[in-house]
Amino acid sequence: MFAFGASILRQTQETPDPSSDPTSDHLGQRQTGSATLAVQAFVEAVKTNVQRVVVGKGDGIDLALIALLCGGHVLIEDVPGIGKTTLARALADSLGCTFKRIQFTPDLMPADVLGVNFFNQKTGDFQFRAGPVFSQVLVADEINRATPRTQSALLEAMQERQATIDGETMPLPDPFLVLATQNPVELEGTFPLPEAQLDRFMVRVELGYPTEAEEKEIFLRFDDPTGSPEIGPVTDADGIATARQAVPEVRVDAAVRDYVAQVTRATRDHEGVELGASPRAGLALYKTSQARAALMGRDYVLPDDVKAMAAPVLAHRMIMGASSRLRGVVGRDIVAEVLAAVSVPIELDPASNSGPPSSGPLGPDSGSTGAGTGG
């Protein structure tokens, strides 16, 4: 069951290539590829398992899985009691990887995260005791309660997938996913994450309150003295690797690639922003758009994918100017203004299309492939 992603990919690879089928659409439209089917099966299995514990929150789960498929990290930010830690724990339990959880507190030290070399009196030598960071899935609960010194212990790990302790650099396991939670409304005893740390989170997930129907479902589902439902893994590291390999195969038309660049650069020129999105943010937007397209069952990226991922990827990375802060403007407001200002590509570039040119609009209902040079 763990390796279902690889088995699905093998099965779908036996399906004939739609592009070679003479019955294909005359505009060169393609059916869903085998790699995309593997991604969909992976996401559906994990999402279904997580929702045995988490009621609703489908969009938040999708965002977390998109970050996982892109090799990124997730910051889950919302008010207390929404289910941030529950979501992070359920996702970790579903992945079948080594898992550690850290409760960040003001007295937590870097060595508590990374590990420590200690003197073993029995052997008469120093030994290394690995910290929680040497796990495949790390849940950093209430990360903003730790001091900046401890928060910075994750910088190297999140970006370079390695940790340096006492001058020795050690690689981290693959995959390596940080699921961090923080409460944005409670400021006492907290330390805001520095920009360098925020920029290392590929997406920020805001869960929001449940609907009335979802809240009633929560009452029913947890009306059990034995506690919340237990879930087990539905995949493993090999299944994650198989799904990840499919994301770069999702094609990005040159016009859509230009659109990603224009949206990213527009955040830097906005008058209400002191510091706009970094090149790392633009690359994250590009990759997550590919992953979302695969999740939606397409092997090509649409501008709608870029629009859907813009706020979760870009909003938390920007620093608002003084005037914006006074008016209560936040990152997602700036992203909305940028998306409204940047022109959306509506035509494919036939020269960059790997198949016959399409004359239809580049929209979700056009069936256009959006094929272009790979990204």
pLDDT 10s per residue in the chain (375 long)?
Answer: 334 444 433 333 343 443 334 333 322 334 456 778 888 888 999 999 998 888 888 899 999 999 999 999 999 988 888 888 888 888 888 988 888 999 999 999 999 999 988 888 888 888 888 999 999 989 999 999 999 889 988 998 999 999 998 888 999 998 999 999 888 777 777 888 888 888 999 999 988 888 899 999 888 888 876 666 778 888 888 889 888 988 999 999 999 999 999 999 999 988 888 888 899 999 999 999 999 999 998 989 999 999 999 999 999 998 888 888 888 888 899 999 999 999 998 765 444 444 333 333 333 433 333 333 333
Q: Shortest CA distance to 40 belongs to which of 363, 298, 300, 367?
A: 298
* Identity of residue 8: I
User: Which pTM value belongs to this model?
Assistant: 0.79
The answer for residues whose C-beta is within 8 angstroms of residue 340's C-beta and 6 or more apart is none
The count of domains in the chain is 1
- CATH number of the domain bearing residue 256: 1.10.8.80
The answer to whether 6 touches 242, Cβ cutoff 8 Å, is yes
Domain presence at residue 242: no
Tokens describing residue 138: 């790390």
Task: Supply the pLDDT for residue 85.
Answer: 84
Distance in angstroms (rounded) separating the CA atoms of residues 18 and 35: 13
The answer to whether 201 touches 73, Cβ cutoff 8 Å, is yes
Q: Residue 275, Cβ neighbours under 10 Å: how many?
A: 14
Task: Supply the pLDDT for residue 227.
Answer: 62
Tokens describing residue 243: 């799904």
Domain presence at residue 142: no
Strand partners, 162: 171
Question: Between 279-295 and 58-69, two packed helices, what is the crossing angle to 10 degrees?
Answer: 110
Domain presence at residue 124: no
The answer to whether 78 touches 88, Cβ cutoff 8 Å, is no
Strand partners, 106: none
Distance in angstroms (rounded) separating the CA atoms of residues 250 and 207: 28
Distance in angstroms (rounded) separating the CA atoms of residues 156 and 298: 34
Domain span holding position 359: 251-375
Domain presence at residue 84: no
Could you read off the pLDDT of 304-331 as tens digits, one per residue?
Answer: 999 999 999 999 998 888 888 888 888 8
Domain presence at residue 87: no
Residue 186: C-alpha distances to residues 80, 190, 192, 230, 257 (Å): 9, 8, 11, 30, 39
Domain presence at residue 172: no
Residue whose tokens read 């659109």: 259
Domain presence at residue 18: no
Domain presence at residue 171: no
Question: 3-class SS at 166?
Answer: coil
Alpha helices in 27-184 (DSSP H): 34-50, 58-69, 84-94, 110-114, 148-151, 155-160
Could you read off the pLDDT of 10-58 as tens digits, one per residue?
Answer: 333 343 443 334 333 322 334 456 778 888 888 999 999 998 888 888 8
